[in-house]
A and B are shown apart, each in its own frame.
Chain A
Amino acid sequence: MGEVVWARAVLMLIRKGVDCGLTTAVTLASVIALVPLFSILLYVTYKGLGTVLTGGLSIFTELPPPPMVEGGGLGPAIVGTLIVVSIGAAISIPIGIMSAIYLSEFSAGEPIAYWIRFFTNVLAGVPSIIAGVFSFGLIVLTTKTFSAVAGGAALSVLMVPVITLATEEALRLVPQDMRQAAYGLGSTSLQTVTKVVLPTALPTIVTGITLAIARAAGETAPLIFTALFSQFYLPFDTEGPGALFNQPIASLSVLIYNFALVPFENQQKMAWAASLVLLGMVLISSIIARTATRRNM
């Protein structure tokens, strides 16, 4: 009798030990997964916050400093990133959403849908510098100038697959019952898609678009030889909207790349400040997008 009780006690001890060990292991793994994120956030803040605080508002408006001159700001780069990413979004959101609608709503059983999905996945894995090469060949060589549009086109190549795949996923999550209900009330296909399916999937779609934008905003490689860089704001006053097509344009990511490689301390500081601003922009836009769409539900 005593032996049985003894054996049972040992067994329970082993079980508890395994339980405890595994719980510790998975907790540790999830903490480790968060380490890169937080170390980046902390280190960028540590290195960049000083410059942003001493610069104050002028960081957001002034031109980048020449070597060894104190002060200056990130004005053209911030505006440039906003412009280039907006162009990329303007090109890729309609294409991405419409191809997702085709894939999820109207392509049942079509072999072409398989291939579209396949190549969208391939496109999603294309190195970003290749997107730059594509836009360089297509737009920069044709127009014979670097431009915001060339930069935006390069970014849109990266954004289209992300938006397409995320939107298709979101549309597939809309229950089939809801489409049936819409058709049962006498909706046309257009009404079913635009008034029932898309609004239902909207929060998820917006999340996908935000992810695509966040990714594009941080890209450097596709911009280096499409948008290039500029120390100045786009000359809209003299060129009008044409400035989008015939002028190189600054961006935060290329500014970071340029200034991080120079031996001048003031420009290096500016690169850290730009990193912090870029991180902040991506973070804030994700938070806004998420809260704005959550309220709708």
Chain B
Amino acid sequence: MTAYSMDNSLGGEADVILTSHVKGFYYGPFLALRNIEMKIFKNRITAFIGPSGCGKSTLLRCFNRMNDFVKGARLEGQILFNGRNIFDASVDAVTLRRQIGMVFQKPNPFAKTIYENIAYGPRINGYKGDMDELVEQSLRRAALWDEVKDKLKKPGTSLSGGQQQRLCIARAIAVQPEVVLMDEPCSALDPISTRRIEDLMQELRDLYTIVIVTHNMQQASRVSDMTAFFNVEMREGSRTGELVEYAPTTTIFQSPQKEATQAYVGGRFG
């Protein structure tokens, strides 16, 4: 892996918030990921791209330890969050997930009102401030406030798919996380809703660090500052994901160093 300095289009050096030293990630006996060395920069949007099964979602779910729920999942190596290994015995996964939020592929609002969807996270975190204010602020940040301010008592599931996904983003940021992980957040949405969420990500960049997994290369090139290209390697009958190239998005799309990257972003496979 070449180390890149962060003088990309945004300019200036950025702080590192997450560092992956993953040696190997296993589902039972199967090696799903190996040798992932990368740094995620603070207040930047980092996109993970690559063909299906390349382990990009798996890596994303390592960052907030969502893979803890997968039986037989095992990680060798370390992931540092603000310099601290998140797999350390002293790190509580529940607390970690409050700092590293997540937006999922399919919009998954709770079967509660719009208001309660947002208030749930802060409430379980023992938030003491003005809940109405926090709900409004979160919905405003997710660019949803104007559409739902008159129906906060309606069920979250009554919204359209795109609105539901923005509700889920609002719900995630209501907990005031440092990082928001997005696992193909637009794959279930129409182009207009997708556009709105991409615009939203640009507005959220100043407040949060965003890591997004996407199948859509145009999306990665539109929204992200850094892009990581993952590829699958067949070895001994099992598919193992590897980080092929990680660089500022412009580099990945205009002058990729590796042949596989070139082939993928050029649309020759994937």
Contact = CB atoms under 8 A, between A and B. Distances in A.
Contacts of A177: 104, 106, 108
Given A184-B172, A185-B121, A199 B111 contact: yes
A187 B94 contact: yes
A193 B97 CA distance: 17
Interface in A101-133: 108-109
A181 B109 CA distance: 8
Interface in B101-129: 101-102, 104, 106, 108-112, 120-121, 124-125
Contacts of A143: none
Nearest to B68: A183
A207 to B, nearest CB: 16
Contact of A178 (B97, B101, B111): B111
Interface in A72-110: 108-109
Interface in B15-74: 64, 66, 69, 71
Contact of A191 (B124, B171, B172): B124
A184 B93 CA distance: 10
Contact of A185 (B69, B71, B97, B112): B97
A185 B95 contact: no
Given A180-B66, A297-B111, A186 B155 contact: no
Contacts of A178: 108, 110-111
Size category of the binding interface on chain A = 20 to 34
Contacts of A188: 94, 124
B112 A199 contact: yes
B99 to A, nearest CB: 8
A109 B71 contact: yes
A196 interface: yes
Contacts of A2: none
Interface in A200-214: 200
Given A178-B108, A196-B110, A183 B124 contact: no
Contacts of B108: 175, 177-178, 180-181
A195 to B, nearest CB: 7
Contacts of B71: 108-109
Contacts of A184: 64, 66, 97, 101-102, 104, 172
A183 B124 CA distance: 11
Given A181-B110, A195-B124, 16 more contacts: A177-B106, A180-B102, A180-B108, A181-B109, A181-B168, A182-B110, A183-B66, A184-B104, A184-B172, A185-B97, A185-B98, A185-B121, A191-B124, A196-B110, A199-B111, A297-B111
6 contacts: A109-B71, A177-B108, A183-B69, A185-B175, A196-B110, A196-B120
Interface of A: 108-109, 175, 177-178, 180-188, 191, 195-196, 199-200, 297
A-B pairs with lowest CB-CB distance, top 6 = A186-B98, A177-B108, A184-B102, A185-B121, A186-B97, A200-B111
